[in-house]
Amino acid sequence: MSTSRINSLITQNRLLSQARSRARSQSSQIGKILNSAANSKDGLLDAIKKDAAANKNSGLSDADIASKKNYTAMKEAAESLKEHTKKLLLWPDKEWDSMTEEEIAKYKEDAIKEVTNLVTDYNTIIKSLSSESSRTNDIYLKQLKGYFKNAQSDLESLGITQKEDGTLAVDEEKLKKADAQQIKKVLGSSNSFVDDIGKRTDNIIANAETSLAIINKKLYTGNYSYNKEGNDIFDILASGSKYNVKR
């Protein structure tokens, strides 16, 4: 028998062994699900959903789990920050000179709340980007820090400072004492720090979503077994439809 033939048989045996191992693991998992369904008033689909939720990180390395947590936090913080920037840029909804003292006071109160929440989200993004070293993340991290540097003097006049790690700190007492119109100028005008970071949020969200998709692909690749008709084993249990797989 030729060497190539022997190597081919070895490879086939290894793949067969791996397939059998996955099948045994899946059979055991199916047994647990069926047993859970039998003892649950909600039925099989509910048991499958609960099992999926309980094992959502099964098969991922500790590093992948940590990355998944970081990118999820990054995405959620960027989405939230985007909303805060919109409000700060759109408020107030009338000309400044036509506003009453009460309206100006209300604007200032609301703006301070938005700024505080914005800083919290900004800091989450900075920490998440710093934890996940990559060329793209490093670029966004540098850009965000640069936006602060560009407006540092004005931001510090309102009590907003940058720490060594790039996160921001807010002196709330100093911010409360600031002039309302100055707050609008520094934090709510075109080409301001808030405007700059708001424009970058879509890129950060897309980057986080792409990274999460890659991690989830690692989680699901090879986890499912199909029969000769292209049905996933869980699809069969739930009487679901066939997958469009090549037979």
Give the pLDDT score at 33.
Answer: 54
- Residue 26 has φ and ψ, to the nearest 5°, of -70, -35
Cα–Cα distance for residue pair 210/199, rounded to 1 Å: 19
Q: If we measure between CA atoms, which residue out of 189, 206, 110, 199 comes closest to residue 155? A: 189
Kindly report, residue by residue over 29-80, the tens digit of the pLDDT. Answer: 556 655 665 566 566 556 555 655 555 666 678 888 999 999 999 999 999 9
Instruction: Check pLDDT > 70 for residue 129.
Output: yes
Burial of 226 (0-12, 13-18, 19+ CB in 10 A): middle
The more confidently predicted of residues 15 and 151 is: 151
Instruction: Check pLDDT > 50 for residue 233.
Output: no
> How is residue 11 written in tokens?
């490879």
Burial letters for 48-66: b for 16+ Cβ neighbours within 10 Å, e otherwise? beebeeeeeeeebeeebee
- Sketch the domain layout of the chain as residue ranges: 3-59+224-237, 62-218
Q: What distance lies between CA 145 and its chain's CA centroid? A: 20
- Residue 42 has φ and ψ, to the nearest 5°, of -85, -15
Residue spans of beta strands (DSSP E) within the chain: 160-162, 168-170
Instruction: Check pLDDT > 60 for residue 136.
Output: yes
